[in-house]
Chains A and B, each alone.
Chain A
Amino acid sequence: MRIEGWIFLAISWGGLIALACYCTYKILTTRDES
């Protein structure tokens, strides 16, 4: 795989994992009112 491919993969995977972690953190630290 070329270096640009690794960069695209790292940004995409990193961004999505960070978003998933952020959402999980927010859900766990805020009260569920439903």
Chain B
Amino acid sequence: MPRENRDTWGSRLGIIMAVAGSAVGLGNFLRFPTKAASNGGGAFLIPYFICLLLMGIPLMWVEWAIGRYGGGFGHSTAPGAFHTIWRKNRFIKYFGLIGIFGPLVIFIYYTYVESWTLGYSIFSLTGAFSGLASREGMRGFLEGYQLLKHRTLGIPTAYLFFLATFAANAYILWHGIRGGIERFCKVAMPVLLACGVVMAIRVLTLGAPDPAHPDWRVDNGLGFLWNPDFAVLVDKDRVAEVWLQAAGQIFFTLSVGMGSILTYASYLSRGDDVVLSGLSATSMNEFVEVILGGSIGLVGAYVFFGPAEAAGIAERGTFDLGFVTMPLIINRLAASSLFGFIWFSLLFLAGITSSISLAQPAVAFLEDEFDISRRKAVAILCSVAFVLCHGPILFHARGVLDEMDHWGGTVCLIVFSLIECVLFTWVFGIDKAWEEMHKGAQLRVPRAYKFILKYVTPVILIAILVGWTIDKFKSVILMRACKPEDFVYLLVTRGVLLAMVVTLAVLIWHAWRKRKGALAPEEKR
């Protein structure tokens, strides 16, 4: 039976803001423009929007619906929700551990990356990097910061900002769904949107700031991102990669396949709408990603550094754009301290609204399955996560962060999405699933989605999984791309991740064993 004092959302706006906050992250502003520019520009948007319609939005509805269904039985996390859907299978709850393990792994390294944005927002105000005008200088500044060489009062500055960021996350989680997460997101998301609009307007009104290069204009900067290169969609050597990148971006941007949305939706009542709310959260995320994210970083890079350098920035990816290129762009603007603060505060808000959602499944699991208080669950989770966070902090240069991102942020997402999609549409049954989705719905989903949910979405997910397995599995398992000096660090990281999986499996086994006596006969499996 559900606990009587289960937390709930205070309003529909609250959960939409929280889910949109979970989805809007650093990737919206840093990953999307680099992926689009390196994969055909406007042409990338064709597979991107097709994947959004056929995979992203259906998975969003599936995860909302499973979450609300599981929440009705007092389960806020995937093990319990999966078990309520397929009671006859005693092993399905163990597959649900991916919905706790994945977000927890991401939380462990993401909090550290998030703390860089807090650090850089303060550096913008203090002028710590305002004198740096070269790419090498800014990269050196970032590496010094990441490798804990900068010190404040004898303590590495990056570590101080990590402590502040971690404490902020813990504080919000401590105050629960309604008093913490919902309250925070209802303020943070409008502020984030406002900051994004201010930055986009500033970049889009730059004109051609370098008189020596009149062609380096804003409209050409937009063209750098939006001019379609259809060759990538017909080139048989590149087309599969472009589709995989587009599908991957949809996964990352919507936060589907993590388990966080499932947990958030579990705090809804049975009659609450999930269709319109899920679509609204998706819509907000896409607005931020395509319109705001696509108008700031790379467009600014183009007008200040030209097309050749902008192409290099797109190839170098997320961190280079966010922490090397953007500070250099901001240094060239009037009122650079203010715009630097706005940019990095925007990233920090995008980060923290995501990280709290990543920690919530583990907190909810302890609360629901072990019947302990929220504050005790937060204390346990934060103690464990705090210790584990030191891996990516201390051994960032050894590739620990990338290793965790690979397993928690890539493999788990695809596997978990496939499990929940098949479970909901095949095991639960598409007719029941359709009915469940539409309980309290304030929007009718087009009937074509019945077919898409049952056949198209699982096939796309299987194709991605098979593609990844053929392309990467062997080299990843055998660690072929790993530098010899990093081998031990990555092996230990894998050992820790494996230990986390085993611990979660034991906890699930123990929780079900403990609950067995209190359950109805049909639930005793």
A residues apposed to B, CB below 8 Å: 1-2, 4-6, 8-9, 12-13, 15-17, 19-20, 23-24, 26-27, 30, 32-34
Contacts and interface: CB of A to CB of B under 8 A. Distances in A.
Interface stretch (B7-15, B401-409, B507-515): B7-15
Contacts of A15: 49
A1 B42 CA distance: 11
Given A5-B227, A8-B228, A12-B45, A19 B276 contact: no
Interface in B259-314: 268-269, 271-273, 276, 279-280, 283-284, 286-287, 290-291
Contacts of A32: 11-13
B326 interface: no
B271 A33 contact: yes
Contact of A26 (B41, B269, B443): B443
Interface of B is mostly: helix
Contact of A16 (B15, B272, B291): B291
A26 B280 CA distance: 9
B283 A27 contact: no
Contacts of A34: 8-12, 15, 268-269, 272
Contact of A1 (B227, B279, B284, B440): B227
B223 A1 contact: yes
B292 to A, nearest CB: 10
A8 B12 contact: no
Interface residues of B, number: 36
Given A16-B287, A16-B290, A20-B287, A5 B223 contact: yes
Given A8-B42, A23-B283, A27-B280, A1 B226 contact: yes
A2 B222 CA distance: 10
Nearest to B217: A1
Interface string B14-55: 011000000000000000000000000110010001000000
A5 B12 contact: no
A13 B291 contact: yes
B320 interface: no
B410 interface: no
Given A20-B283, A26-B442, A33-B271, A2 B290 contact: no
A1 to B, nearest CB: 3
A32 B13 CA distance: 9
Nearest to A2: B227
Contacts of A24: 280
B315 interface: no
Contact of A33 (B226, B272, B283, B443): B272
A16 B9 CA distance: 27
A20 B284 CA distance: 7
B287 A17 contact: yes
A20 B289 CA distance: 13
Q: 10 nearest interchain CB pairs?
A: A1-B223, A8-B42, A5-B227, A5-B226, A23-B280, A30-B442, A32-B12, A9-B226, A5-B223, A19-B283
